[in-house]
Amino acid sequence: MAILMSTVEIASALVWLERTFPDLCLRIELPEPTHEKRACHALRIAKGNSTQRPAVLIIAGVHAREWGGPDIVVNFVVDLLKAYRAGKGLRYGAKSFEAGEIRWILETLSLVVFPCVNPDGVEFSHKRSAYWRKNRNPKSFDGNPDSIGVDINRNYDFLWDFRRYFHPEALKNTSLASDDPKLVTFHGLSAFSEPETRNVRWLMDALPRLSLFLDLHSYSGSVFHSWGDDQDQSSDPEKNFRNPAYDGLRGVKDDGYCEYLSPPDKAICQSVAHDVASAMRAVRQRPYKAEPGYNLYATSGTSDDYAFSRHLCLPGRSKVFAYTLEFNFASDAPGDEPFIIAGDPAILDSTMRDVIPGLMALCLAASLTGCLEPQRLACAEQPTRRFGVDPATSQVRYVTGSGAQHAPALPDSHTNPAARDLAKLLFAFDVACTIKSREGEAVRASILQQIEKIAAAARKQHL
């Protein structure tokens, strides 16, 4: 039975992984130690030279009291590497992954994990106050022990200055963020004021082909996708977090402002989240669901919105589809303290079996983001796209607002050309389903025609 790892053991486990799998693992010391001078480490997992590969970044141990996150991530890596080395598949309850899928992850992606972002807070939660959430920054200490620390997941540079960006009504819910150091959502003295958030940003900067990001939390049984500041919409690109005309209006449900998410991006956001939630549900039918982050409550300065917003704000950054996974569920039974219940070895064991398949599914879903296609590495936002099928080459292409032509994502690892073309077309069809106009109908008809052509040719060749 698994026993919750201490912060020392989390660090030792990473050393062991690098020593045991030297050809597959590289331990990375992050540039900034914590306020209590703890060194922080991440682990890069890949077979062969991974510098040019699409990257997936998974972080955990952000909110100190959400026990089990680091254990899930470390055991995920252990399972992945053991299976790869043995050339075997992995099974968790009713969910299994074939050896080929494990190989695909190791040989196609650069997977980076940062299992314990906030070791000071985790240590304090393990030994002193179990419900501690923040880090242990003493800068705002005023004699009240609650005034120590910053909520790391309100300290990223995404609408950080919440009083300026959000509606006064939204400010009344302190889950959004707070400038009162005594509260659990204290957002710090400035964006990226904390070494923990700067370490995460450093990792994002160090991974130029970062495509997927996941921040592991507990406990609402959800996989949250963009956006978290407000409800999303796909009809008015002007309504976006960069537009000062909407400052002071964000964060209120069913009002005039919703955050823009282009139809293709929304399709990808949803399908990746759906894959992750489905994989977790498949283990033993726990009701994990995919939903927009705003469904929990409006937030400012969170990691997932920051990660997804980077390609819109910082030139040349890759588009990162970003998620917050909240594992486990509320219980109203006395003694089932949802945040820290993973301290119970039996619960920790079953939680790890539930959640690791979600992390596997996230990696496998990298193909859905189009990150395997070279020209999409550093894409600018393209709110208006027109799709079409080139009759000469049977290639599905889209034209962006700037007039540049692109082929859609190459989302799969199929080796058979017909299977590859079909996968591309099916993906394009999925995206085209989000276009509601007559143009969408024409594109869908054209894609279906191409699918029929390829299917007919394949039938001739193989039957």
Q: Which is nearer to another protein, 142 or 452 (CB)?
A: 142
**Cα torsion angle, 433, 436, 297, 161, sign:** positive
378 part of the interface to another protein, by CB under 8 A: no
Cα 1 off chain centre by = 29
- Measured from the Cβ of residue 60, the count of other Cβ atoms closer than 10 Å reads 30
127 part of the interface to another protein, by CB under 8 A: yes
Q: Which is nearer to another protein, 41 or 376 (CB)?
A: 41
| Sole binder of another protein in the list 142, 169, 441, 452 (CB under 8 A) | 169
CB-side neighbour CA atoms (13 Å) of 99: 7
Q: Which is nearer to another protein, 364 or 435 (CB)?
A: 364
- Nearest alpha carbon to residue 396 among 385, 405, 408: 408
Give the Cα separation of 452 and 156 in Å (integer).
48
DSSP 402-420: TS-EE---------SHHHH
Q: Which is nearer to another protein, 200 or 360 (CB)?
A: 360
- Residue 212: what are its φ and ψ, rounded to 5°? -135, 140
Q: And the tokens for 372?
A: 């395997």
- Measured from the Cβ of residue 263, the count of other Cβ atoms closer than 10 Å reads 18
Give the Cα separation of 243 and 246 in Å (integer).
6
147 part of the interface to another protein, by CB under 8 A: no
| Sole binder of another protein in the list 28, 47, 101, 173 (CB under 8 A) | 173
Q: Interaction with another protein in 202-261: which residues (CB under 8 A)?
A: 217-221
**Nearest-5° Cα angle at 210, 214 to 295:** 35
How many residues lie near another protein (CB under 8 A)? 73
Q: Which is nearer to another protein, 263 or 338 (CB)?
A: 338
333 part of the interface to another protein, by CB under 8 A: yes
| Sole binder of another protein in the list 31, 345, 391, 417 (CB under 8 A) | 345
66 part of the interface to another protein, by CB under 8 A: yes
Give 3-state DSSP helix, strand, coil % of the chain, rounded to 5: 40, 15, 45
455 part of the interface to another protein, by CB under 8 A: no
| Sole binder of another protein in the list 36, 255, 337, 373 (CB under 8 A) | 337
Give the Cα separation of 40 and 55 in Å (integer).
20
Q: Which is nearer to another protein, 345 or 417 (CB)?
A: 345
| Sole binder of another protein in the list 60, 113, 148, 184 (CB under 8 A) | 184
Give the Cα separation of 404 and 275 in Å (integer).
31
429 part of the interface to another protein, by CB under 8 A: no
22 part of the interface to another protein, by CB under 8 A: no
| Sole binder of another protein in the list 34, 108, 110, 185 (CB under 8 A) | 185
17 part of the interface to another protein, by CB under 8 A: yes
Q: Is the previous residue joined to 297 through a cis bond, with omega within 30 degrees of 0?
A: no
| Sole binder of another protein in the list 150, 273, 325, 340 (CB under 8 A) | 340
The window from 121-129, 203-211, 428-436, 449-457 that contacts another protein (CB under 8 A) reads 121-129
Q: Which is nearer to another protein, 162 or 427 (CB)?
A: 162
| Sole binder of another protein in the list 15, 378, 448, 456 (CB under 8 A) | 15
Contact flags string 77-116 toward another protein, x per CB under 8 A = -xx--xx--x-xxxxx---x--------------------
Q: Which is nearer to another protein, 169 or 452 (CB)?
A: 169
Radius of gyration of the CA atoms of the chain, in A:
22
The window from 31-39, 72-80, 187-195, 426-434 that contacts another protein (CB under 8 A) reads 72-80
Give the Cα separation of 463 and 460 in Å (integer).
6
- DSSP SS3 for 178: strand
Q: Which is nearer to another protein, 130 or 249 (CB)?
A: 130
163 part of the interface to another protein, by CB under 8 A: no
Q: Which is nearer to another protein, 100 or 417 (CB)?
A: 100
The window from 32-40, 61-69, 374-382, 383-391 that contacts another protein (CB under 8 A) reads 61-69
The window from 108-116, 168-176, 191-199, 418-426 that contacts another protein (CB under 8 A) reads 168-176
290, 225 contact by CB (below 8 A): yes
Give the Cα separation of 315 and 63 in Å (integer).
30
| Sole binder of another protein in the list 189, 206, 252, 296 (CB under 8 A) | 296
Beta bridge partners of residue 59, listed in sequence order: 114, 215
The H-or-E segment that residue 122 falls in is: helix 119-127
4, 71 contact by CB (below 8 A): yes
Give the Cα separation of 285 and 121 in Å (integer).
32
273, 213 contact by CB (below 8 A): no
13 part of the interface to another protein, by CB under 8 A: yes
Q: Which is nearer to another protein, 192 or 297 (CB)?
A: 297
The window from 17-25, 46-54, 303-311, 429-437 that contacts another protein (CB under 8 A) reads 17-25
Look-up of token digits 């120590």: 148
